[in-house]
Amino acid sequence: MASAAIERINRTKMRYESAVKDMAGTGIPDRMIEALGAVVQDLFKFEDEGWTLINKLDYENSKGISLSEAKDIAKYLEHQTKVMGGLLGRGLRLKNNHVFGRGYEYKTVDNDKIKPRHQAILDDHENWTTVFSPTALKELNRILYTSGNLFLMYDETEQEFTRLAIDINIENALSHPSDRSRLRYILRSYEDINDLTGESKLVQEWIPTFAHREALKRKRSPKSKKPLLPESLPIGGKGSKKVEVRKDAVIIEKRINKDNGDTWGVADSFSAAPWAVVYSTYLKDGAKLQNALAAISYLVKVKTEAAAKAAGAKISNARVGMAAITGPDTEVQSMPKAGAIDLYEGRPIQAQVAANLDVSTTGIASDPGLGGSYASESALSQPETLAALSRQEDFADLFRQIFHAIGAPTMMINFKRLDADPVHRIIQSLSMVRENGGISQGEYRNASVELLDIEVESDELPKPDAWTGSKASTLEKYINDPDPDNRDGDDGDDGNGTVPGQGKSGSVGSLDDSGNDARNSDRDAGDA
């Protein structure tokens, strides 16, 4: 792998040098040499920090990633997403908007009122900011995005939730002997600091997972007098120090992107990270080369040293709009810059990042591309919609465990509908259903004002002459005088197939999809 990486880097260096020589000749300035050196250095750095993230994993001798590798990956991806930002940061914001953008609510399965004791747990300030608020849900999704391993501890005595960071608080785990993916206990570690004295001590404790404790309860005999959980467990292998197993707390966990038999989950952004670093390096190095090329403004060809000095003096003192006058043996040419380096050619790299994150290239780049359109951003593509629905299902399962843990098994999180079409398309569909008798005018009106977020002034339905708009006068003729012979010829059939309102302002166009080919093509282009 190392030799292949070096070979690839050298080939890239040679391409850069060849391009520079074609534009500047054999006499490459020191400034450009330095820029090339920086490019190569960045490429080596990427090999160390980018692909190494994947290549370091010992897949030959283990199943999935280890706890130590999961910690390293979480630290790296958190830094790339939060500090470096770029495409990974944009990808996270897109996924959060897709999943939670339409809103959600907590409810019971039978739509009964949430019991006061359960509502009190939700409304508790710490629980609200840790688990239940809109901000909390986005932060929990960030953990899945950068770590793939989400752990929540519920203290049954305090009725309080605490997040556990895999790279800080998780020291070990015990799995089912025949299935490594089924976690039974998590070893939690943290520094307990005395607020009065400032003294701190390391605290370690085993906490059962909610799933394991519930399984023990189901298997437990009603007459059994044995403790449900062990008093203590060793922190490592046989013979290591034992620490207490908590009886009043459980771990609610969600590990994603696992293969069969894997213990630890894999972050959403894991496969996208190398490509995001490639693109960042591509832009940075392209900017360096552009800056280096900008240092060469003129190419001077001379036959003598004296002519070179004279031409150099004239060019160095040149101001805007001035010309350099030289002898017959001297030729001065301005260096062409147009098309020397095209940073837009990096869009395929953007597409790799987008594909690994299940978002559109247009969305992650905030750029519709050459000849594209932002119209595609008004609606989610089918892959984006399915990815958002999948993540909503992950959260539905997570909250099923949460609500069972607090003693509210009938509670659930309900996400608002993900609209795959723009609002105007949905209203068109509602119009067709209303005209075909599927819904009433009142139902059509209620759905429309909700979609448009309109604050209505009255619960009464508008009168026909108010909601028909420019067609009111035409319809009035039909209502007041049903005899077609008495109507204005312009409003009736003139023998050429015209109908009332055709070609006039306010008429509703065809709802056939063939009339929206341009917009649909924009959407398809944005999904590429």
Q: Which residues share a beta bridge with 205?
A: 188
* DSSP one-letter string for 163-214: EE-TTTTEEEEEEETTEEEEEEEEEEEEEEE-TTT--EEEEEEEEEBHHHHH
Q: Which bin fits 35, alpha (ψ -120 to 50), beta or left (φ > 0)?
A: alpha
Q: CA-CA-CA-CA torsion for 184, 187, 188, 192, nearest 10 degrees?
A: 140
Looking at residue 207, its amino acid is: I
How far apart CA 306 and CA 308 sit, in angstroms, is: 5
Distance CA 32, CA 288 (A): 9
The residue type found at 392 is Q
pLDDT for residue 84: 76
Report phi then psi at 48, rounded to 5: -75, -40
Q: Rounded distance, CA 439 to CA 436, Å? A: 8
- Within 8 A by CB and 6+ apart from 203, the residues are 188, 189, 190, 191, 192
Tokens of 527: 């999904």
What is residue 198's predicted lDDT score, i.e. its pLDDT? 83
Full DSSP string of 323-368: -----TT-EEEEPP-TTS--GGGGHHHHHHHHHHHT--HHHHHT--
Distance, CA of 438 to CA of 448 (rounded, Å) = 15
One-letter amino acid identity for 211? Answer: A
54 within 8 A of 118, measured Cβ to Cβ: no
Query: Tokens 């008798």 appear where?
Result: 437
Helix, strand or coil, per DSSP, at residue 110: coil
Characterize the bridge pairing of strands 298-301 and 331-334.
antiparallel
Query: For residue 354, what pLDDT is reported?
Result: 92
User: Following CA atoms 445, 446, 447, 451 in sequence, which dihedral angle do they give, to the nearest 10 degrees?
Assistant: 100
Please report, in tens digits, the pLDDT of each residue of the chain (528 residues total).
445 545 655 565 566 556 555 544 444 445 545 555 555 555 455 444 444 554 545 544 556 888 998 998 999 899 889 887 789 999 999 999 999 988 999 999 998 899 999 999 999 999 999 999 999 999 999 999 999 999 999 999 999 999 999 999 999 999 998 899 999 999 999 999 888 888 899 999 999 999 999 999 999 888 888 889 999 999 987 778 999 999 999 999 999 999 888 999 999 999 898 888 888 877 877 777 776 666 656 666 667 677 666 666 666 665 554 555 555 666 666 655 545 566 667 788 888 899 999 998 888 887 766 655 555 555 678 889 899 999 999 999 999 999 999 999 999 999 987 765 677 788 889 989 988 889 988 888 888 888 887 888 887 777 665 555 545 555 555 555 556 555 454 444 444 444 444 433 333 333 344 444 444 444 444 444
Amino acid at 173: A
